[in-house]
Chain A
């Protein structure tokens, strides 16, 4: 085949894991390279993503692709079996719309809601819940955002499928709960049980410890 496929990633990053899920769906082999993302960024990372210096970066036959959603679309464009995006143009537009909503609004709002302290907390949590209600509404009646199988939106929603649950526990907040969002929580469980997801999630206790440390660091910074 002569294909060279390498992923610069980070074990705890939900963005990095998206790419791994997609590659597993396609059944494509790749070399994984764990990256330092806070300090001591590798020469490789700086070379292959000079604009943002972030993971994930997919390097295909020496050519780098950065930004997780761009990478997911590239993977779908390149390996045609087991499509991740729908075929119909309107369905594709809907998938792209929701993926943008997740990354532009949900991910930052959830992070803020979990990391804010004091009087800010109530407001940021309310905002996060409002966004989740929108997604809850979008999911009703469907097994996955992608239909019968996971697709583009489900992969991009990995923050809800796993990461937010661990983050909530680390900081002691209740945002995505079964009583408030039964449909999303059911989806999250089904999502985690998919083989390509199950074998791709970072170990829970390690991620929990990571988030606790992050939260403590931020708290000490906020108090200064």
Chain B
């Protein structure tokens, strides 16, 4: 067990990427100090700890920084191997499957979702929505195959892929609310819809998933930035 003060996480409450290591640390029962960054200004500590990207989250373990959310999650899994459940599966093929879909989520699915928020004009918005829906349908299939009837992608407990996807549920709800959509539709993606409820209710997630209302307010702030037409 880490002593308080030995583990710190630099982050911000609205960021789904920051949520990932928080869930991982919670699963492992590791105490940590949460260093909240002020929106719009980057702290000295952040710039020093992540000089390459200057982004959150950054984990500081005995003052050594680890950056990139999924790299941090894997680090937490490997640095505290005997605490809590395993986050990555133990079988090499299952691990590869989890990593493949996590990469898909980060490289394809999440950009398509933030594409809805940024779309200029109805046509562009519809195209972005279609992409997200298609992605969710693919993930629904994947959930069916990987979970094998268990509650999570990781089986009985939350695992790597649950964390990779689940962290976006807050933003997904804000997107649905803002645009009057039903993306996580029980009729179309029943497996994922139920999984989402279980994920958000889990002890490791409850305290770090922001309330939709609060997130929607925050979204209004940053949407103003995105919706401004690009300089010609």
Contact = CB atoms under 8 A, between A and B. Distances in A.
- The judgment on whether A and B are partners is yes
User: Which 10 pairs across A and B sit closest by C-beta, in order of nearness?
Assistant: A77-B92, A89-B78, A93-B75, A74-B96, A89-B79, A70-B99, A96-B71, A65-B96, A93-B66, A78-B92
A186 interface: no
Interface of A: 51, 60, 63, 65-67, 69-71, 73-74, 77-78, 89-90, 92-93, 96-97, 100-101, 134
Contact of A67 (B68, B71, B78, B103): B103
B161 interface: no
Nearest to B59: A93
Given A51-B104, A134-B52, A70 B66 contact: no
A134 B71 CA distance: 19
A74 B67 contact: no
B105 to A, nearest CB: 11
Contacts of A63: 93
Contacts of A71: 96
A83 B191 CA distance: 38
Contacts of B75: 89-90, 92-93
Q: State the main secondary structure of chain B at its contact with A.
A: helix
Given A66-B100, A89-B79, A90-B66, A74 B72 contact: no
A92 B74 contact: yes
Nearest to B79: A89
Contacts of B72: 93
Nearest to A65: B96
Given A66-B100, A67-B100, A90-B75, A74 B66 contact: no
B138 interface: yes
A63 B96 CA distance: 11
B95 A96 contact: no
Interface-centre pick from A51, A93, A101 (highest chain B CB count, 10 A): A93
A93 B74 contact: yes
B64 interface: yes
Contact of B103 (A60, A70, A77, A93): A70
18 contacts: A51-B138, A65-B96, A65-B100, A70-B99, A70-B103, A77-B95, A78-B92, A89-B75, A89-B78, A89-B79, A90-B61, A90-B64, A92-B74, A93-B75, A96-B68, A96-B74, A97-B66, A101-B52
A93 to B, nearest CB: 4
A112 B126 CA distance: 29
Given A70-B103, A89-B79, A93-B66, A100 B95 contact: no
A100 B66 CA distance: 13
A70 B68 CA distance: 16
A38 B118 CA distance: 31
B47 to A, nearest CB: 15
Given A51-B138, A92-B74, A97 B96 contact: no
Interface in B84-110: 92-93, 95-96, 99-100, 103-104
A51 B66 CA distance: 30
Contacts of A77: 92, 95-96
